[in-house]
Structure 1
Amino acid sequence: MEQRGHVILVDDEPMVRQSTEQWLSFSGFAVDSFADAESALAHLDVQTEGVLITDVRMPGMDGLELLSAALSKVPGLPVILLTAHGDVDMAIKAMREGAYDFIEKPFVPERLVETVHRACEKRRLILENSKLQSVLAKQSGLDATIIGISPAIQRLRRDVLKLADLDTNVIVYGETGTGKELIAQSLHQYSRRKSQNFVPINCGAIPESLIESELFGHEAGAFTSASKRRIGKFEYADKGTLFLDEIESMPALLQIRLLRALQEGVIERLGSNQPLQIDLRVIAAAKVDLREDEHFREDLFYRLNVSQLHIPPLRERMEDVPLLFNHYLRIATKENTEEGSKPRVLSEHDLQALSRYQWPGNVRELKNIAIRFAVDGDSSISAILSAADPMNNSAIGRASASKLLPLSVQVASFESNVIREVLARHKGNIKLVMEELDLPRRTLNQKMIRYGLSRTDFTKG
């Protein structure tokens, strides 16, 4: 039988202690039993797994005293009290002092087993969360930047350190949201150029008419709106690193100028005949294989493709998800909640939802979900994921027809879709949305934060 958890049992009555131990052992729990509270207390430490079950009325240290001493020694340890003399006042006092549950003798064995099972699950989650926080706290250097324990991420960190010192051009491949700019920044930070500028530019976010000026700069009067000289990204990155994100979207004519700049180490501002010597490292990022892109120049590809790095999508390194989520949850809690607030503890259901989701938006999406989870103290991970992407291809989205999603998930999905539709209809006009939905501003704001909705997403068009 698979072990369901660990129990530390304390009861001064031998018959009761033995029978309870036998029943728990038969039910799949590992049991250490003690006849007095002092012996059990000495057995506890901060890494104690499972649950403490103790009788209340015992000679010497009684169960309530053991409860207080145990929680002082092992914060978060679930403690279940058993007594034949229980009353309402004692139960209230015990729960106020941190007892997990309070069960009167003679108890129904099945109820005790179910309570112990839930308590063991809670303790396991607390220890797992503590372990993750400990791992994060001990990280330094590149481990604290490129976070993960999977073989793929460990290999990526090694490759980054190896390539950083080579000072060669690099192409970084990865899906949207995998962290290509983070990898580029790491290559720069651990290179001999780290004291110089790291200059990022998204080739897909700048209009084609402006990108040449952005990269190479211009002289005053070079074109109608050029009222003064502008230093381009290439010149600003001299002696440092230029990061060209989404380079697959670079226009063909600009690819020719980029190739010349890389080959000769020379650029010219628009409107100038004066060549400028540059010394920089280029890191390019792409979502697709540039070698297979018929619109990307082959000679430019070979000039850039001195080295390559491939960032695996999050769905291929699911063992990193809990660590990454706790990292961003800790940051989100610090930045978005009251000072001194502790990060929410993930439930078993939350962890399962994280592990089943396919993360189409990769780490960027995970970070956003962590922020919503930190801000909204009531929603589960399942509800947040369902609201953010009701049709996702995860196990949540693929719930079989024979097993409906939890009501809270369905309600959250419906509510999110209604608010999204009304925002779109009124083009982000919050006043009109409030009137149509009959919601006060504060409530609407809370729901929009919960579902990741921003009015600016609906103001265009």
Structure 2
Amino acid sequence: MDVAFIDDDEILCAANVQALVLAGLDVVTYHSAMAALDELNSEFTGVVVSDIRMPGIDGLQFFKYLKKIDPDLPVILITGHGDISMAVDALRDGVYDFISKPYTFDRLLGSIRHALESRRLVLENRRLKRQIEASAINLPLLGSSPAMERLRQTLHQLADADVDVLIEGETGTGKEVVANTLHQWSHRSNRPFVALNCGALPESVIESELFGHEAGAFTGAVKKRVGRIEHAHGGTLFLDEIESMPPVLQVKLLRVLETREIAPLGTNNIRHVDIRVVAASKTDLRTLVERNSFREDLYYRLHVAYIHIPPLRERKADVSLLFGYFLANAAKRFRRSPVAITEMVRHHLNSYDWPGNVRELVHYAERVALGLVEEQKQVSAEPEATLRERMDAFEADQIRAALAANSGDIQETVKSLGIARKTLYDKLHRYSIDQTIFRGTHTKSL
């Protein structure tokens, strides 16, 4: 919607709306401020145009109400009384434009088009901010290994494809992080991301959680409840541990995927839902299908697009990088001084298989930050390497960890390592380290 036009003069309102529609704008009309307030919210993508002289709530009062809803919502006020002081006060308070009657249509159209561009930029900045905030609280999609580069590339390719996705990966690899990243990078990012762990709820509850119910649908259903599927309308539904879903619900989920329709418990009314479904499993669903433990038709319906998240043992080159990032975050959160990565810690990072994957690595970093990991004498994990090779490997690890901790900022990395900028660039070239992978979405995503 481009324009919300509010005017109690129905004839004048209709004339303006007709002209705006002919100019290619999408317009909704209201004949009172109260009617508009019932529907306008901070997600409104357009511009508000309102007359000032209206019964009940006038234009200036209307603007004050809108400012509380969204201070960045562009409001254009029209008046038949060219009061200069009123215009100055209104513009100072944040009104986007103040137009006095009589006015040319080009004057109104030009103001609206400029306001629409301003609104677009505001909403785009908000979306980007949400993405940054979302990535900042998640485990990062961080890593320079070929496996992680392929994963990032796949996510970018699928983000706006609007197809259902199946994610498989061991416990702790970050399946929900990947699902949320898909959502944040897609055009659905301003709508809900709704997650449900299919293995965490008893069979008697999960159907109501998914589909919702009407009041009185069963004993204890004292009021209507919107299910997770309906709540995700316009956004993404993430079903974790899909392999744990009871067979009866697998049939119902298959129908939802095929028709994009649901019928809550206690009603025969069919409701359309616009959702993207991302399902995740910690086991190989194909194997479960062969054992008749998972429906084959549902498997193929979910398997439109497939993502495999590699375990840490298959991308050992990323372990030190991830650890440096988590260690810096832990030190900051626990208000501890930055901790140097010792030879014992480095040996553990490189020699351990990390069966708990990223989650286990995060907890290890927290213990190191808190000083709970005791130093022990270790035999070199690479006895066949020369001293020079082992020193080079250690130095490269330290540089990667420092870059990760400083989000790729060269100036901060130079400070933390205590070396000259030229020295750092020489070492980046020597060890073939690409500093760009530590920046932006790549540093704040798995």
The normalised TM-score by structure 2 is 0.52
Is residue 350–residue 382 contact of structure 1 (8 Å, CA) maintained in 2? no
1:207 to 186, 202, 206: 202
1:329 to 327, 330, 338: 327
Q: Which residue of 2 aligns with 1:307?
A: 305
What is the DSSP-based 3-state SS (H/G/I as helix, E as strand, rest coil) of the residue aligned with 2:329? Answer: helix
Q: Distance in 2 between matches of 1:275 and 1:381?
A: 63
CA distances 1:157-210 after superposition (whole Å, capped 9, x unpaired): 000100112111110010000000000011111111111111111000011110
Q: Is the 8 A contact 1:354 1:381 kept in 2?
A: no
Q: Whole-Å Cα distance in 2 between the matches of residues 216 and 266 of structure 1?
A: 10
Q: State how far apart, in whole Å, the 1-side matches of 2:153 and 2:373 are.
A: 38
State the shift of 1:226 in Å: 1.0
Distance (whole Å) between structure 2 residues aligned to residue 150 and residue 312 of structure 1? 11
Deviation string, structure 1 residues 86-128 (Cα, Å, up to 9, x no partner): xxxxxxxxxxxxxxxxxxxxxxxxxxxxxxxxxxxxxxxxxxx
Correspondences of 1:352-431 after superposition (within 5 Å):
352-375=347-370, 377=371, 379-380=373-374
Matched position secondary structure for 2:226: coil
TM-superposition CA deviations, 1:262-289 (whole Å, max 9, x none) = 1111101111111110010000001222
Q: 1:344 to 1:236 in 2, by over 3 A?
A: same
1:381 Cα offset (Å): 7.0
The equivalent of 1:406 in structure 2 is none
Q: Percent identity?
A: 53
The aligned amino acid for 1:331 is N
2:182 corresponds to 1:187: yes
Give the residue type in structure 2 aligned to 1:380.
Answer: E
**Partner of residue 85, structure 2:** none
In the alignment, which of 246, 252, 273 is matched to residue 268 of structure 2?
Answer: 273
SS, match of residue 368 in structure 1: helix
Preserved CA contact (<8 Å) 2:169 2:311: yes
Q: Equivalents in 2 of 1:256, 1:210: separation in Å?
A: 16
Query: Which residue does the alignment assign to 1:197?
Result: 192
Residue 344 of structure 1 corresponds to which residue in structure 2? 339
SS at structure 2 position matched to 1:366: helix
Looking at structure 2, the residues matched to 199 and 272 of structure 1 have their Cα atoms a distance apart, in angstroms, of 23
Amino acid at match of 1:379: V
- Structure 1 Cα separation of the partners of residues 152 and 298 of structure 2: 27
2:251 to 239, 253, 256: 256
Quote the offset at 1:332 in angstroms: 1.1
Residue 241 (1) aligns with residue 236 (2)? yes
Q: Provide the C-alpha distance between the structure 2 equivalents of 1:144 and 1:233, rounded to a whole number of angstroms.
A: 24
**3-state SS of the aligned residue for 1:282?**
strand
The one-letter amino acid paired with 1:242 is: L
Letter in 2 for 1:344: V
Contact 2:139 2:174 in 1 (8 A): no
* 1:219 corresponding residue in structure 2: 214
* 1:61 alignment counterpart: none
What secondary structure sits across from 2:194 in the alignment? strand
The 3-state SS of whatever aligns with 2:225 is coil
| Conservation of the 8 A alpha-carbon contact between 1:373 and 1:381 | no
Deviation at 1:382?
6.5
2:262 aligned partner, one-letter code: I
Match of 2:410 in 1: none
CA contact (8 A) 2:139 2:177 kept: no
Look up the equivalent residue of 1:223 and give its one-letter code. F
> Aligned in 2, Cα 1:182/1:292: closer, same or farther, shift over 3 Å?
same
Distance 1:233 1:144, change over 3 A: closer
The number of aligned residues is: 242
| Structure 2 alignment gaps of length 5 or more | 1-134, 382-446
1:330 aligned partner, one-letter code = A
Contact 1:150/1:317 (CA < 8 Å) preserved in 2? yes
Task: Report Cα offsets for 1:378-411 as digits up to 9, x if no partner.
Answer: 533779xxxxxxxxxxx99xxxxxxxxxxxxxxx
Deviation at 1:225, TM superposition (A): 1.4
Q: 1:250 to 1:211 in 2, by over 3 A?
A: same
The answer to which structure, 1 or 2, has the higher relative contact order (CA under 8 A, 6+ apart) is: 2
Secondary structure, in 3 states, of the residue corresponding to 2:205? helix
| 1:319 match: secondary structure | helix
Distance in 2 (CA, whole Å) between partners of 1:157 and 1:381 is: 36
1:372 is aligned with what amino acid?
A: R
**Structure 2 CA distance, aligned partners of 1:381 and 1:243?**
42
Structure 1 gaps, min length 5? 1-139, 384-394, 397-461
The CA deviation at 1:335 is 1.2
Distance between the aligned counterparts of 1:214 and 1:352, measured in 2? 46
Report which of the two structures shows the higher radius of gyration computed on alpha carbons: 1
Counterpart CA distance in 1 for 2:375 and 2:196 is 34
